[in-house]
Structure 1
Amino acid sequence: MSINRALRATVLVTTFAVAGLLGAGVASAHVTANVYGSEPQKGGSAAIVFRVPNEEQDAGTNKLEIDFKPEYAISSVRYRPVPGWTAQVEKTPLPSPVKNGKNLDVTNPVTKIIFTAQPGSGIAKGATEFQEFEITASTLPSNVDELMLPTIQTYDNGQVVRWDQMQTGSEEPEHPAPVVHLTAATGDEHGMSASMTTGSMTTSTDGTARWLGGAGLIVGALGLGAAIGAVLRGRKAAK
């Protein structure tokens, strides 16, 4: 009886671990701003990758707009070309200058970058594809701890999803704005985060959830193996 209970308990652990791992994948289906390597420094530069998953079964993504607050005083944004997409960086003249992270006046900061899919391109409909859009931005502000980068995702059926909600409590909003955390300046001349590398990147929350789910699977598998071994030893002894 104890062996059967152990088997049932182990199966439940494995089931919950699998559910947790799958749940982590569902929770990550947002537009996110990711940084490879260390966090960018205040007053420096950042290499940021926007991960955009498609979430509509009957429509594909054909446009992405990323907004930069004028008070960030970011004077330069560059982008890595994405095959099948065009990009446009927009600046907005201000009535009075704002100070950037190096305490210099900026009167024409970057306020938007727009990625537009060419005909026949874009992120395919359904929930199996995503695209990454890589940019660099400088000079980063020195008076904030994070960059909030509202993003607008447009589908080819005209539907628009605004990823612009701020998280104020423990619960994540339905359409959270992408956020990049900044660390204190260390005196490095550029303050650029680590160079881009190949491979996939996830946010820290998504990565932690996946790690916990994977750990649960391993623990469940080990427990299941031990229980099966106990059953076999019990049957052998009975014989």
Structure 2
Amino acid sequence: MSSSRMRGRAATIAALAGATVLLAAVPAFAHVTVTPNSAAQGSYSTVAFKVPNEEDSASTTKVEVNLPTDHPVASVSIQPVPGWTAQVTKSKLATPLKSDDGTIDEAVTKITWSGGKIAPGQFQQFPVSFGPLPATTDALVFKTLQTYDNGDIVRWIDVPKEGEAEPQHPAPTLKLTAAAASDGASATPSVTATPAADAKSGGSSAGTQAASSDTSDGTARALGVAGIVVGAIGIGYGVFAGRRRNPSA
């Protein structure tokens, strides 16, 4: 086999391998996701559901996000999206939530956006504020349905599992991390002198300041004298050196 034919085959194999990698990577960019993908437990956070259009000849016309009922969120607020209408569905909770405002027996379980369009090659973000986020789980899974104007419905409901390959239609997942410990307890308070403390010390603070001032003055005088001595030595050395070069002087 000629070297040119071998190079041609190598180029073909490389091109196929590159195409395979690209095809494998494309679906990862087309998933419905939640951004940011993590938040602290017990916090109030604003996230956005990012919905891309995966079809070439159809537009997305409805997005339905289902909130988990096993770990409900007490408060949900929606940011208006131009061109879209949001509908919030509340349901009775099997286990009521206890909050600072009392017991909550119902919570938002579904948000549906409709009326707008996500054209092919485009995406739309739907911001939502949640809080306080549950402190009894490390993730919230939002099973989502994406409806197109040609009747297709993509169900983003597969729950990703650690250690396994990503499913074909993973549900948007918000990871919950442990809340950061407060730094206030570890901070060392600053100590300041009060007039009462100065009075009890019998003016020792003022005496210390005076001693410090005297020490500074003494140091300044010593440095001044040393400078004069060094200058005199330099002048004497210059005169002596001049006489050696000119003995008649």
Tell me, yes or no, whether TM beats 0.5.
yes
Determine the structure 2 residue equivalent to 1:223.
none
CA distance in structure 2 between the partners assigned to 1:144 and 1:103 by the alignment? 22
CA contact under 8 A between 2:74 and 2:97: conserved in structure 1?
no
Deviations 1:103-154 (A, max 9, x none): 964211111111112xxx4111x3x111111111111110100111111111
The aligned amino acid for 1:113 is: I
Answering whether residue 118 of structure 2 is matched by residue 123 of structure 1, we say yes
CA contact under 8 A between 1:32 and 1:50: conserved in structure 2?
yes
Determine the structure 2 residue equivalent to 1:184.
178
- Aligned residues between the structures: 180
The 5-angstrom pairing of residues 21-40 of structure 1 reads 23-35=24-36, 39-40=38-39
Query: How far off is 1:88 after superposition?
Result: 1.8
Determine the structure 1 residue equivalent to 2:53.
54
TM-score, normalising length: structure 2: 0.61
Q: Which runs of 4+ in 1 moved over 4 A?
A: 8-23
Identity %: 40
| Secondary structure, aligned partner of 1:24 | helix
Determine the structure 1 residue equivalent to 2:222.
none
Structure in which a larger fraction of residues adopt strand: 2
Q: Could you list the runs of 5+ residues in structure 2 that have no partner in the other structure? A: 1-5, 183-249
> 1:153 aligned to 135, 143, 146, which one?
146
What value does the CA root-mean-square deviation take over the aligned residues? 3.1
Larger radius of gyration: 2
Structure possessing the higher relative contact order (Cα contacts under 8 Å, 6 or more residues apart): 1
Query: How far off is 1:49 after superposition?
Result: 1.3
Query: How far off is 1:158 after superposition?
Result: 2.1
CA distance in structure 1 between the partners assigned to 2:98 and 2:13 by the alignment? 57
CA distance in structure 1 between the partners assigned to 2:56 and 2:19 by the alignment? 24
Determine the structure 2 residue equivalent to 1:83.
82
CA distance in structure 1 between the partners assigned to 2:56 and 2:12 by the alignment? 33
TM-score, normalising length: structure 1: 0.63
CA contact under 8 A between 1:71 and 1:98: conserved in structure 2?
no
Deviations 1:32-86 (A, max 9, x none): 11118xx311111221111111112232101111111223231211122211111
Q: Could you list the runs of 5+ residues in structure 1 that have no partner in the other structure? A: 189-239
Determine the structure 2 residue equivalent to 1:43.
42
CA contact under 8 A between 1:79 and 1:135: conserved in structure 2?
yes
Change (3 A) 1:173 1:26: closer
| Secondary structure, aligned partner of 1:28 | helix
Change (3 A) 1:152 1:17: same
